[in-house]
């Protein structure tokens, strides 16, 4: 089964084409350009590199959150624009699950952390060994201090992954001897991880109408409006 996957949930963006689990084409950018500028050309070039068209794809996959509200909407909208006319099945996966599936040759706790601003991170914890990846927590938005309290109970090696990993590492490195920062080449979100998360998690590939963004917390504008109303009371 040929799968095309998209991730645009943070500053970086990526596209992958696989034959089941086998990666056959991949594109990645982390230039700061908006995803509305880069994503569709990336999809085209990733397919062109292996002589495929959208019609040749059997199923589509996208990260649906958490992450940038705008980036997630762009990724989901791009998926729907391509898959819907073709009536192809689609899967939506957690961005954090996709990140965890990028990590190989590690045993211990994987902490996937995305910068959620306001001294918070979107995060989830996983237990990894040679043969399995087990999710230990739901996807949550918490402060860096709260994340430290969750990590300090583990004796195993802890690997920080994601665009919020470096922030967390700087906060934890003097307090947690067992914490390390993954190499930059594996630190960021990748569309290939979304495919692995979908296949390993037995996520149903379904009609594209069922694929929607998943936001852990309200958008900033909504939070600020709520705060103003509370302060005016």
Whether 56 and 132 share a structural domain? no
Residue 160, domain extent:
104-187
Percentage of residues in the chain having pLDDT higher than 70: 93
In a domain, 233, yes or no: no
| 10 domain residue, yes or no | yes
- Can you tell me the distance from the alpha carbon of 121 to that of 56, in angstroms, rounded to the nearest whole number? 38
Tens of pLDDT, residue by residue over 114-169, are 999 888 999 999 999 877 899 999 999 999 999 999 999 999 999 999 999 999 99
199 within domain boundaries = yes
> In this structure, is residue 18 part of a structural domain?
yes
Per-residue pLDDT, 130: 76
Q: Are residues 165 and 206 in the same domain?
A: no
* 196: CATH: 3.30.420.40
Strand segments, DSSP code E, in 102-193 are: 108-117, 120-128, 133-135, 140-143, 158-161, 179-181
**pLDDT tens, residue by residue, 70-87:** 999 999 999 999 999 999
Whether 227 is in a domain gets the answer no
Query: Does a structural domain hold residue 225?
Result: no
Based on the domain organization, do 26 and 129 belong to the same domain?
no
Shared domain for 21 and 129, answered yes or no, is no
126: in domain: yes
pTM for this prediction:
0.92
Task: Indicate if 111 and 172 belong to the same structural domain.
Answer: yes
Which own/partner contact pairs does 152-159 have at CB distance under 8 Å and 24+ positions apart?
152/176, 154/108, 154/109, 154/178, 156/107, 156/108, 156/109, 157/106, 157/107, 157/108, 157/109, 158/108, 158/109, 158/110, 158/111, 159/103, 159/106, 159/108, 159/109, 159/110, 159/111
Domain count within the chain: 2
- pLDDT tens-digit readout, 183-207: 988 899 999 999 999 999 989 999 9
């Amino acid at each position: 089964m040929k799968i095309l996957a998209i991730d645009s949930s943070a500053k970086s963006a990526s596209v992958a084409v696989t034959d089941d689990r086998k990666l056959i084409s991949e594109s990645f950018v982390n230039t700061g350009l908006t995803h509305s500028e880069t994503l569709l050309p990336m999809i085209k070039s990733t397919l062109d590199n292996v002589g495929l068209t959208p019609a040749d794809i059997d199923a589509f996959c996208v990260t649906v959150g958490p992450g940038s509200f705008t980036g997630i909407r762009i990724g989901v909208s791009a998926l729907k624009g391509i898959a819907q006319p073709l009536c192809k099945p689609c899967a939506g996966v957690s961005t954090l699950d996709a990140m965890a599936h990028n990590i190989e040759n590690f045993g211990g706790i994987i902490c996937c952390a995305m910068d959620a601003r306001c001294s918070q991170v979107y995060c989830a914890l996983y237990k990894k060994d040679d043969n399995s990846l087990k999710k230990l927590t739901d996807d949550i938005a918490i402060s860096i201090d709260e994340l430290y309290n969750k990590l300090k109970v583990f004796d195993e090696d802890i690997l920080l992954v994601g665009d919020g990993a470096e922030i967390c590492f700087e906060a934890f490195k003097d307090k947690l001897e067992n914490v390390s920062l993954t190499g930059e080449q594996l630190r960021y979100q990748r569309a290939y991880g979304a495919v692995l998360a979908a296949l390993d998690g037995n996520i149903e590939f379904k009609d594209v109408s069922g694929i929607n963004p998943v936001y852990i917390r309200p958008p900033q504008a909504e939070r600020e409006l709520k705060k103003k109303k509370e302060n005016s009371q």
